[in-house]
Amino acid sequence: MAADASGPWRGLRNAAILLLIWEIVGRLDLVAGGALPGISEILIRLWVDWGDYPRHIGATLYASSMGFLIGNALGIGAGVLFALSPTALRLFRGVNIAVFALPPIAIAPILVLTLSGMAPRIALAALGVYFVTMTATVIGLSQADSRATDVIRAYGGTRWDILRRVQFRGALPSILAGLRVAAPNAVLGAILAEFGGGGRWGLGAYLLGSLGRGEPDRLWGIGLVATLIAGLSYGLFALLAARTVGSTRAVTLNTAVPDAAPRAGHPLGRIALTFGTIALPFLVWWAFIEATGVPDLISKTPWGVVEYLFLDPTAESAQTRLLAALVETLPITFLGMAAGLGFAFLLAISSRLFPRAIEAFMPVALVTQTMPLVALTPLLVLILGRGPSLTLWVTISVTFFPAFVTLAQGLALVPRSAEDLPRAYGASRWTEMRMVTIPASLPYLFAATRLTVPRALLGVMIAEWLATGKGLGNLLNQSRGFLDYGMIWTVAAVSVLLSVLFYQAVVIVERRVLRRLGMATAE
Amino acid sequence: MSLRLNRRHFLGTAAATAAAASIPLRARASTPFTMQAAWINDAEFAGYFIGIDEGYYAAEGLDLTYLSGGPDVIPESTIIAGRADLALTTPDTTIKAIVEQGAPFKIIGAQYQKNPIGIVSLASNPINEPRDLIGKTLAVPPVNVISVNAMLALNGIDPGQVNIVPYAYDPTPLIRGEIDASLDFTTNVPYTISQQGVEATSFLLYDFGFTIYNDTVVVTEETLTSKRAELVAWLRASRKGWEANFKDPNGWPPKWADTWFAGTGRSIENEIFFNNAQQPLMESPAGYMGMTEEGIEANLRALAEVGIKGTRDMFDTTLLEEI
């Protein structure tokens, strides 16, 4: 977001105005009969409760840091492997998409069933980190300056020399950017697992104990602390990136033609690879259960889920319940995808047309990303009721942010010269937007869609779990009460599978459209 | 450890051995033993905290590890996975799992003789009996929908006549009138609501035909065979803990402000209210943690009404008899 000299101050001023409005609205109990407390009420409560916080923060930091380390070690390791071997990248594609798309609320109960102690928290934090870092590593390594690698090759350097001397250095900014996004993910994953997992310490555990009090100022306080931790971890890596990027950036432009993508080999080999890509996620699932050694009454292998759904005496009842839930969940999920994407798109366009207003909105947008939704539920049901509008808003709040960031990036990258043309002819900002900026950022629109679509299911399931009592989200929770382990695993598997399908559908449309327009995909 | 005996020690050891005849585990080295509770630390588990703090379990030769629960923790899963020897849970889920999935569970004791869950509403918009729920909105934690449907069916009400929505642990929607009633522990939520300056009213599902226990003590059949002595010891120490608790229900919670109740997010006053409110629900002619024949019969009858066909042999009262 570019700004002139007075920009930062105006941004601050707008944010201050927003906070003031929040304070007045909260103090006067104007929203939902006082369910939204004023900023000062939240801060005073935070001060009063402060004695409770250190151990909870400590536990959350421990779990999220462990998850961050493990997730990043795996992410960078896998990224290096994938950058070296396109076959490995192809083979692991299914696993990678599954990790990216899996809805955490469906996975948390599974982790609590199969792991103990801090392990579910660390695992959920690591899962939130892996994909982001892995992708950033692959992109960073594959975008190394080919002139530098040519130099090493010319002097007889090995593949490892290239990796060590050029690619890693070149990839550093990209990896650091990945870590920046990954850090808040780790915090959120840890808090979600703390909420359900039954430990005594951690912000998630504190939130659970506090919910029963019916005191929104406490809940907002916890949300604010979570936001602060997530924000600081983002800031830490942003700072690190700013310090190191300068030394690795190329000074002149590389005009060499990039290497062509390796052609796939024998058709049989390709089929085997595709089969492996699809089979691998199920193998990982099966290996996970073998490794945890949890009895098969409570942990279901892929085959266990097939048995439960198709072969057991209760299969028919299971199918009926699953289908009924899907019929409730899927239509609103498609609406949610459209709403989340539409909201992100509007926001991205507004950020070009009214940059100041959007700058002021950004802190609020960040809070919606780190504030645990369970703490906001009373406020949301009081304002929106328990119908489709609540589900849509929860879905928008879960989906819009990554899509917005991607779109804003795409809009900002449109060449100035292309925008100057309509401007020279006296076109309005909006005409310029319509005729140049939006079409030019189409690859980013698709990238944003890929980010949004799997998360829409997560948003809908959260709303179902907390407020509407319908669909997959509700089925998952009721199954816990019935000790219906088969259904718990089935819902988790089906939700991951659906998210992967949504993702894959976007990828196929994206390839077709962009190929026809002669554009490249954006990561 | 040196085992050389002098005369005084010998007499002491002899006395201990004599005592050990009646209390089998007392003289043994302590055995690791793990229990899985049903929820986060609150007054619901006061008896066990006393048992740990006052050394009742240690005196029985148990080195007790206490695991607190949470929304994603299914207590029965913890014992199946072998991470705990015993779990506190509800008889409806246990018996349903035995009947439908052949789960190897036995119920060996019961903390609440009357299930504390009930319908909580505001005195200004009171729901005094199941009939009053018709046409109203009731928030129920998804895991408890089974219990509510049972209570409605027992009172001749079609569950379709009540608008059931999820209860997300926060009473704010009830206080603000967005819902008419919620299902929760009647020992707990009325206090929270009164703190917001509103008066609450409630009734127990138990008093309207859903006559089941809560926080039933469940073990696997394997544990029942292999750790029988430890289970009896645990029951004995737990009963002692609860007896001590109800001698001074106001005195114990403040003692745990910096230990068991530290950082739970709940207030000590809330725990004191809870501790007093739960006493009448736990008293039994068979003693704390006990199970009477009438009580078991009432559980089976209520569950049979909703299609969960349990049998007497899913309850094992012989360990309680050994206390």
Distance between CA A321 and CA A333 in Å, rounded?
A: 18
Chain A nearest C-alpha distance from B149 (Å): 13
Q: Could you give the 3-state DSSP secondary structure of residue B121?
A: strand
Tell me which of B74, B93, B267, B306 to substitute to probe the interface with A (most A C-beta atoms closer than 10 Å).
Answer: B74
- For B86-97, letters b (16+ CB in 10 Å) and e give bbbbbbbbbbbb
Residue A258, C-beta contacts closer than 8 angstroms, at least 6 positions apart: A146
Pick the residue from chain A with its C-alpha nearest to B76.
A483
CB pair distance less than 8 Å for B142 and A465? yes
The per-residue pLDDT for B283 is 96
E-only strand ranges, B160-277? 163-166, 181-185, 200-204, 214-220
Residues of B with Cβ-Cβ distance to A468 under 8 angstroms: 165-166
The per-residue pLDDT for B4 is 37
Tell me which of B169, B183, B185 to substitute to probe the interface with A (most A C-beta atoms closer than 10 Å).
Answer: B169
CB pair distance less than 8 Å for B145 and A208? no
Residues of B with Cβ-Cβ distance to A123 under 8 angstroms: none
- Which residue in this structure is represented by tokens 């629109």? A445
Using the Cβ of A244 and the Cβ atoms of chain B, whether some distance falls under 8 Å is answered with no
Query: Considering only residues 116 to 155 of chain A, which have any Cβ-Cβ distance to chain B shorter than 8 Å?
Result: 116
The per-residue pLDDT for A258 is 45
User: Does A69 have pLDDT greater than 90?
Assistant: yes
The per-residue pLDDT for B67 is 95
Read off the pLDDT band of A4 (50, 70, 90).
very low
Instruction: Walk across the sheet containing B181-185 and list its strands.
Output: B163-166, B137-140, B181-185, B117-122, B200-204
Q: Do A329 and A321 form a contact (C-beta atoms < 8 A)? A: no
Distance between CA B214 and CA B202 in Å, rounded?
A: 18
N residues, chain B: 323
Q: Do domains A24-251+263-299 and A305-523 have the same CATH topology?
A: yes
% of chain B exceeding 90 in pLDDT: 77
Pick the residue from chain B with its C-alpha nearest to A210.
B265
Mean pLDDT of A394-399: 90
CA distances from B286 to B239, B282, B290, B292 (A): 11, 11, 5, 6
ipTM confidence: 0.86
The per-residue pLDDT for A6 is 52
Pick the residue from chain A with its C-alpha nearest to B89.
A481
Of A189-198, A265-274, A465-474, B235-244, the range with the lowest mean pLDDT is A265-274
Q: How many other C-beta atoms are found inside a 10 Å radius of the C-beta of residue A141? A: 23
Residue A313, C-beta contacts closer than 8 angstroms, at least 6 positions apart: none
Domain A305-523 has CATH 1.10.3720.10: yes
Sort A515 into a burial class: Cβ within 10 Å, 0-12 / 13-18 / 19+: exposed
Of A33, A9, A13, nearest to A21 by C-alpha is: A13
Residue type, B248: D
Q: Which two tokens stand for residue A108?
A: 């948390």
Please give the mean pLDDT across all residues of chain A.
85
Domain A24-251+263-299 has CATH 1.10.1060.10: no
The per-residue pLDDT for A105 is 87
Residue A284: φ, ψ to 5°: -65, -45
Distance between CA A241 and CA A248 in Å, rounded?
A: 11
The H-or-E segment that residue A162 falls in is helix A159-162
CB pair distance less than 8 Å for B263 and A55? yes
Mean pLDDT of A242-258: 56
Residues of A with Cβ-Cβ distance to B145 under 8 angstroms: 478, 481
Pick the residue from chain B with its C-alpha nearest to A384.
B178
The per-residue pLDDT for B295 is 97
Q: Which two tokens stand for residue B121?
A: 């509403």
Sort B294 into a burial class: Cβ within 10 Å, 0-12 / 13-18 / 19+: exposed
Residue A202, C-beta contacts closer than 8 angstroms, at least 6 positions apart: A56, A59, A60, A63, A121, A190, A191, A194
Distance between CA A28 and CA B51 in Å, rounded?
A: 48
Radius of gyration of chain B (CA): 21
Please report, in tens digits, the pLDDT of each residue of chain B (323 residues total): 333 334 344 344 444 444 444 444 444 568 999 999 999 999 999 999 999 999 999 999 999 999 999 888 989 999 999 999 999 999 998 999 999 888 999 999 999 999 999 999 999 999 999 999 999 999 998 878 878 988 998 899 998 999 999 998 889 999 989 999 999 999 999 999 999 899 999 999 999 999 999 999 999 999 999 999 999 999 999 999 999 999 999 999 999 999 999 999 999 999 999 999 999 999 999 999 999 999 999 999 999 988 899 999 999 999 999 98
Residue B64, C-beta contacts closer than 8 angstroms, at least 6 positions apart: B33, B34, B35, B48, B51, B52, B57, B58, B234
Of B95, B96, B116, nearest to B106 by C-alpha is: B95
Mean pLDDT of A361-381: 79
The H-or-E segment that residue A77 falls in is helix A53-84
The per-residue pLDDT for B13 is 42
Of B250, B323, B230, nearest to B46 by C-alpha is: B250
Residue B120, C-beta contacts closer than 8 angstroms, at least 6 positions apart: B171, B174, B181, B182, B183, B184, B186, B189, B190, B193, B200, B201, B202
Sort A9 into a burial class: Cβ within 10 Å, 0-12 / 13-18 / 19+: exposed
User: Considering Cα of A492, then A494, then A497, then A503, what sign does the dihedral take?
Assistant: negative
Nearest CB among B41, B80, B146 relative to A200 is that of B41
Q: Do B112 and B88 form a contact (C-beta atoms < 8 A)? A: no
- Which residue in this structure is represented by tokens 């009734």? B203
Distance between CA B113 and CA B183 in Å, rounded?
A: 18
User: Does A254 have pLDDT greater than 70?
Assistant: no
Distance between CA B234 and CA B33 in Å, rounded?
A: 9
CA distances from A108 to A100, A104, A112, B165 (A): 15, 6, 6, 22
The per-residue pLDDT for B9 is 42
% of chain A exceeding 90 in pLDDT: 37
Of B282, B212, B217, nearest to B84 by C-alpha is: B217
- Chain A to chain B Cβ contacts (< 8 Å): 167
Characterize the bridge pairing of strands B181-185 and B137-140.
Answer: parallel
Of B92, B315, B125, B95, nearest to B224 by C-alpha is: B315
The per-residue pLDDT for A153 is 83
The per-residue pLDDT for A281 is 93
The per-residue pLDDT for A248 is 52
User: Does A330 have pLDDT greater than 80?
Assistant: yes
Using the Cβ of A113 and the Cβ atoms of chain B, whether some distance falls under 8 Å is answered with yes
Distance between CA A379 and CA A32 in Å, rounded?
A: 7
Residues of A with Cβ-Cβ distance to B170 under 8 angstroms: 211-212, 214, 219, 377-378
**Structural domains of chain B, with CATH:** 29-114+213-322 (3.40.190.10), 117-208 (3.40.190.10)
Measured at the CA of B301, the angle between CA B296 and CA B306, to 5 degrees, comes to 130
User: Does A146 have pLDDT greater than 80?
Assistant: no
Of A135-139, A496-500, B21-25, the range with the lowest mean pLDDT is B21-25
Residue B81, C-beta contacts closer than 8 angstroms, at least 6 positions apart: A113, A114, A116, A294, A295, A298
The per-residue pLDDT for B16 is 43
Mean pLDDT of A466-485: 89
Q: Which two tokens stand for residue A474?
A: 């509700």
Domain boundaries, chain A: 24-251+263-299, 305-523
Mean pLDDT of A145-170: 80
- Which residue in this structure is represented by tokens 């928290």? A121
Of A395, A402, A374, A398, nearest to A467 by C-alpha is: A374
Distance between CA B119 and CA A438 in Å, rounded?
A: 55
DSSP labels for A327-375?
Answer: HHHHHHHHHHHHHHHHHHHHHHHHHHH-HHHHHHHHHHHHHHHHS-HHH
Using the Cβ of A468 and the Cβ atoms of chain B, whether some distance falls under 8 Å is answered with yes
Chain B nearest C-alpha distance from A161 (Å): 48
